[in-house]
Structure 1
């Protein structure tokens, strides 16, 4: 889940907006009085537990996030475009909404996860927040499904990097290329910003190769190690971000201040603990936009257009999968409540608690720990953070975006209390009136632990300045430690006959876009196995008429 990087914000023109980082998994589908989840209008074409249409192999897709919803759509896409390719797809989602780590909330409401009956303020992203220029699948989905993209912006203001003791870097005024900001940056970091920008550009160019017909027509990859090698991501993934950038000649000061702030806000991980590939991804966020109404609308639209059956909430919770021995000359079958000819697991295996029988695949999928992140929304009448909290004079003009570094010497002895602080927007006068007189703002903060009412009061100049706070705790993103033994640490894409695991890709890169890339690959591998069919092009490069 990408968010705009600090590097790109410091090295692009002033038209780039202030940004915030975001995260993952709540329930955004309203419930009926009896507690049964309602399906958003985007999903009305999906079959709700209807009679099975036994045309083609039956496929169970487990997980209704970016990977699962796009897998269902890609299967339907090839059913329309491929030579006689038909599948019968059921999507199982144990939650009450579609979108996985992409969802929106209304933190000024009493029930922030439930859409208000009255239209008013646009919701804010609580989960994966932005679509960037390099996200070809997501951009195409927005076009195909007629979704509106908006520049991803927060309140106008400056940015600073905080290490728990001091601001190690601050802009003079606003994002941009002001002479003083550039002079200050190059005086402090030398040519490191330009070097890192070149590394990121090269990485993005290598990654974009995977959408090319030449890459796709060579066949789906079953080994993430070979994929990493073919996209030049293997080497940086073997080193920590700190070691990788040092070997590339980047100033340690730039790495521990600027890049460290980017990895802290994007992956909740210090730059010395995340692998180089993850650090590079944290910096590759040019052209940040988001979908009006929430990025989850892409995944609702994927699933709705797939016409797959959807089993949601209690009926969508898979607790057991059993592999049936294959009859002579036939393929193995999988039982997921009902028999399935194949399974695409699009969720972190070790978080599903699914028991799998008669198959070695549980031993083939390495454990993958995730970052436990606290996302806190604050409604405050303070127009900026309190200078006193940051040990500054009361007349100091304060930034509206603060990113933390946990890698400086000061941070090691006195770490910051939060990963990031961002003023998202000023509320309308109608909404502000719920909290009292004056202007009220929505602020979003990430932290490793709970931010108490006392700490929030200190940050915003007094408890009386906090009208409401609301917290969501997520298993936000995978811990991307350096990959020492790729064959052992990267899960196979096809751990058993007829079983495809797209979520393993997260050990290498974790974003909304790469979830769709991983699902396209899993679907391509399935089509090769069942139909002997190799897609000639990626979906992003396919004709626009769907």
Structure 2
């Protein structure tokens, strides 16, 4: 997948303070309680990062002698394991091998927060052999409408078929990424108008922290990227219908399980960044485990971490769990898809918006075959000429989806005989995404010899249509929902950005805007000194 896209687009309690690196910001000056109790429901990317950002705030309060002694008391509830939809498993069930991603697997090259977090924790990038993906094809259920093996002839055919559309999409993508990347600029986030006659801090020009996903989008995205579908946007920008229906839709399908007419324009453009992505060695979940472990939050897992009800009371929010216990908190951060949570919301007339999620079947296969079977795809060619990454055009997803459930197929790793314990020569690990479960017969038809299989069904992708309703992060006073960002864009980075925004809303109310956005800030273009995890003038 990477090659064709590049060519086309050219529990733990509070102990010692965790060791965060941050720039000292202003201390709170507004009245607030000495202790603020926060519950985080869900240990996926948004919940784990929210815990870490609160931990950074606690460290900032504890280590700055000018700050009053205030305490954040954070509890993270997780019913199974930290990571959520981020999961990796051992191929061949062999713990001696590097794990393979079976859930959210991509860290894009523009995901500045994730990249800086991975670096700060000393995690390493995977060494998966991307050379396996150099021959790529787009299949429409009957034939390959386009293939690319990196040759000059392939490039010529791409240019002949799509004309200037790839270059034009690259330009649109660059503009969108440049605009969105302002979210990483401390000056963009925190710069304020000159203070007037009173002593109150005027709000930053950016509006940070944002009260809704719509406000966030309005602040950092060009107009038209949210309120129309990707195919409408491409047509408006003069992108050819052929490119839109083939390459663009194949890209949104493999990344988000959406056809091009089912996804908003920003997500549709962002899908092309998957050509420039990587993942953490042994699994992206390691990043979020580190965030939780170093946050200082108390962690409840299992029955004590399975939240069954959230109830508004005169003292705050009562959070009840499956083991029959409950506690009261000042703020609750719902960091899990609400429609999949089974949690009852009580004693409030407010409602958390239900986002629908699309089920996707992920199948990992170990095979002796270096390429899939040509006969499965209706091809008369030799198997050795088949692509090692196959994307699919939207025509196979509707009427004939039962006959052809494939979304994508990617050879992701080669295992030499010295690396595995099977007496079968070189093995290849393949990741297959599909609309329904693939039985053993189908996999044999697809690959020939299959020596190992692992299947997982995910409610993986939210509906990311052009619906841009003003959904607030704060559902009711003290109750927040991080996942309102997902209909706009569903990536690990977006979850982390949304989590920090929610943490900022809570800290702003408790400690004052000066703590979150800083006071009397000065920035240097030569030395921006951006602090990805902290708070104040130089935070992002």
TM over 0.5: yes
> Normalising by the residue count of structure 1, what TM-score does the alignment of the two structures yield?
0.82
Which stretches of structure 1, 4 residues or longer, exceed 6 Å deviation after superposition? 43-47
Corresponding residue of 1:135: 111
CA drift at 1:101: 1.3
Shift of residue 141, structure 1, vs aligned partner:
0.8
Map residues 338-349 of structure 1 onto 2, 5 A cutoff: 338-349=327-338
Summarize the Cα distance change of 1:437–1:333 in structure 2 as closer, same or farther, 3 Å threshold: closer
**Residues 373 and 320 of structure 1: is their aligned pair in 2 closer, same or farther, counting only changes over 3 Å?**
same
Match of 2:8 in 1: 10
User: Which residue is equivalent to 1:389?
Assistant: 376
Change beyond 3 A, Cα 1:293–1:470: closer
The Cα of 1:272 is off from its aligned counterpart by 1.6
Q: Residues 302 and 234 from structure 1, CA distance in 2 versus in 1: closer, same or farther, beyond 3 angstroms? A: farther
Partner of 2:144: 167
Counterpart selection for 1:93 from 78, 85, 98: 78
1:521 to 481, 501, 512: 501
Shift of residue 98, structure 1, vs aligned partner: 0.9
**TM-score normalised to structure 2 length:** 0.83
Matches within 5 A, 1:303-382: 303-325=292-314, 332-336=316-320, 337-362=326-351, 365-382=352-369
**DSSP 3-state at the match of 1:322:** strand
Q: 2:180 aligns with which of 182, 195, 207?
A: 207
Cα contact 2:136–2:387 (8 A) shared by 1: yes
Q: Does 1:106 align with 2:90?
A: yes
Count of residues in correspondence between the two structures: 478
Shift of 1:456: 1.4
Query: Contact (CA 8 Å) 1:8, 1:285: kept in 2 or not?
Result: no
**Does residue 479 in structure 1 map to residue 463 in structure 2?**
yes
Alpha-carbon offset, residue 214 of structure 1: 3.2
Give the aligned partner of residue 23 of structure 2: none
Seen in structure 2, the aligned counterparts of structure 1 residues 152 and 44 have a Cα distance that, compared at 3 Å, is: farther
Counterparts in 2 of 1:342 and 1:9: CA distance versus 1, 3 Å: farther
In structure 2, relative to structure 1, the CA distance for the partners of 1:447 and 1:234 (3 Å cut) is farther
Name structure 1 gaps, 5 residues minimum.
13-38, 48-53, 110-115, 327-331
**Inter-partner Cα distance in structure 2 for 1:471 and 1:275:** 30
Q: Distance in 2 between matches of 1:486 and 1:473?
A: 29
- Closer, same or farther: CA 86–411 of 1 in aligned 2, 3 Å: closer
Secondary structure of the equivalent of 1:87? strand
- 2:517 is matched with 536
Change over 3 Å in CA distance of 1:542–1:88 after alignment to 2: closer
Deviations 1:439-484 (A, max 9, x none): 22111100011112222122123xxx1122221000001021221x
Match of 1:61 in 2: 40
- 1:404-415 → structure 2 map (5 Å cutoff): 404-407=392-395, 414-415=400-401
Q: CA–CA distance in 2 between the matches of 1:428 and 1:507?
A: 42
**Equivalents in 2 of 1:138, 1:244: separation in Å?**
29
